[in-house]
Chains A and B, each alone.
Chain A
Amino acid sequence: AQSVTQLDSQVPVFEEAPVELRCNYSSSVSVYLFWYVQYPNQGLQLLLKYLSGSTLVESINGFEAEFNKSQTSFHLRKPSVHISDTAEYFCAVNAFTNSGYALNFGKGTSLLVTP
């Protein structure tokens, strides 16, 4: 079964500093990988996804993630964070169940950006 490990539960960072949120997955088959973001008191929004092709994927707000098959990782990065990036970030893998796919989440990483 596929599983997801987010290595940091909390990441505090100063505004305009770079950040990396780490995600590792376990799977013996090809997977789709996702990062979702949850702003305070809101639902989940898709940040970016990897399906196939280029291993580097980007979001519209400056985040990027790199799929590394040999290290089974999909780390999320941003070169310069803003206060507004404060949120919970979830890494997820499309896991194959008995009759199809379902999304399997990591436990989340809380990103706190301070001035």
Chain B
Amino acid sequence: DADVTQTPRNRITKTGKRIMLECSQTKGHDRMYWYRQDPGLGLRLIYYSFDVKDINKGEISDGYSVSRQAQAKFSLSLESAIPNQTALYFCATSDLDGARGYTFGSGTRLTVV
């Protein structure tokens, strides 16, 4: 099994719909992250969580919300999807200071039509 599992892998949704992307990890790390990848822009941080009770906004949090249901689970929601949220979304996890590297999921390709 993968260390970080994202579901769904691909999703097409309509403008205005609410959608949730899920992430679970088996690394036992407290820290989890959501990134968005757009061509030519690299990966940008949406939200991050350093433990179950800690949620922080990243660089581009507007239009998104998150929920940390457990140490291993961190979900990302788009309350009302819009076309410019079409992107590849990655979940990641790390140890305390990232010294061992960040482990990424395989990504969710989201298309908003």
Contact = CB atoms under 8 A, between A and B. Distances in A.
Interface of A: 6, 9, 32, 34, 36, 42-46, 49, 51, 90, 94, 97-108
Interface of B is mostly: strand
A97 B102 contact: no
B42 A90 contact: yes
A105 B44 contact: yes
Closest 9 CB pairs of A and B: A107-B42, A43-B106, A105-B42, A44-B104, A105-B43, A46-B101, A94-B98, A108-B42, A100-B50
Contact of B97 (A32, A36, A49, A99): A32
Contact residues on B (Cβ < 8 Å of other chain), bracket:
20 to 34
A107 B106 contact: no
Interface in B74-104: 90, 92, 94, 97-99, 101-104
Please indicate which of the listed interface residues A94, A102, A104 has the most CB atoms of chain B within 10 Å of its own CB: A102
A45 B107 CA distance: 12
Contacts of A32: 97-99
Nearest to B48: A102
A43 B101 contact: no
A45 B101 CA distance: 10
9 contacts: A32-B97, A32-B98, A32-B99, A45-B104, A102-B33, A102-B45, A103-B92, A104-B45, A108-B42
B56 A107 contact: no
Contacts of A90: 42-43
Contacts of A97: 48, 56
Contacts of B97: 32, 94, 100-101
A103 B102 CA distance: 8
A99 B101 contact: no
